[in-house]
Amino acid sequence: MEENQQYGSINSAQAVSETPHPRHGVRMIFITFIVLAMALGGYVILSNSELKGRMQEALNLKMIIPEKNITQKNDIQIFSSQIQDRLIPWVEVKGSDQPVGLGEEFKVSVTAFSGGRDINGYDILLGVDPEQFEVVSVQPATTDFQIQSFDRGMYHAITGYKNLQVKTPTVLEDTAVLLITLKPKVKGQLLVTVLAKKDQEKTQFIDKDVNVIEPQVGSMFITVH
């Protein structure tokens, strides 16, 4: 049996002009509201650094790096040193043998002997435990030199340069080159010393011919009551 199927033609103009279903309009309004809410929320998060950080952490976009302990001590030990031969160049800490009070400022000197050599510069590593002393000031003890001082934590690296105006030889004969003002933080027998070397830095003299002299180093104990 042959079946005849007839299909009516589609009126395209009618399809285009057909009025949208009311639910379609409500759905579009709802979607538009959601998009606007998301945009507003994103703006609020990006404009607030704390919220932005939390969002980044939640999305694993931010690498969390633990804080370093900036108060960690240098890996250095301060120990007592003594000059073995006073006829060979040396540098040491000197001061009064009188006890000082806790929190009382006092001065020590860094004194040097160059063995007859004319000195144009020096590097001195002054070992001072910051838990025992506050270093109030570091000053040149002679007008022959200008200095720069660098706080390394457990020691101070001090560089001296001979003033260009000084034309006479600078021979150190048990000569004070630095004056150090200290303030003790604890009681007891406390040590202040000159270090021979730490990493790439070392205590040394430079003579007028730019020869390096590595002196002996010495220290002193200070009684704080």
Structural domain including 133 reads: 90-224
Is residue 56 located within the same domain as residue 98? no
Is residue 59 located within the same domain as residue 138? no
Is residue 40 located within the same domain as residue 115? no
Is residue 100 located within the same domain as residue 27? no
Instruction: For strands 216-224 and 90-94, give the pairing.
Output: parallel
Is residue 180 located within the same domain as residue 126? yes
The conformation of residue 98, written as its DSSP 8-state character, comes to S
The pLDDT of residue 88: 98
pTM: 0.67
177, 92 in Cβ contact below 8 A? no
Is residue 56 located within the same domain as residue 133? no
CA atoms within 13 A on the CB side of 23: 0
Is residue 108 located within the same domain as residue 44? no
Nearest to 195 by CA among 143, 158, 149, 225: 158
If one compares 12 and 181, the residue with the highest pLDDT of the two is 181
214, 203 in Cβ contact below 8 A? yes
How many domains are contained in the chain? 2
On the question of pLDDT at 26 being above 90, the answer is: no
C-alpha–C-alpha distance, residues 51 and 160, integer Å: 52
Provide the mean pLDDT of the chain.
Answer: 80
Is residue 190 located within the same domain as residue 105? yes
Q: What is the pLDDT of residues 120-172, one digit of tens each?
A: 999 999 999 999 999 999 999 999 999 999 999 999 999 999 999 999 999 99
103, 183 in Cβ contact below 8 A? yes
Is residue 95 located within the same domain as residue 197? yes
- Has residue 74 been placed in a domain? no
On the question of pLDDT at 18 being above 70, the answer is: no
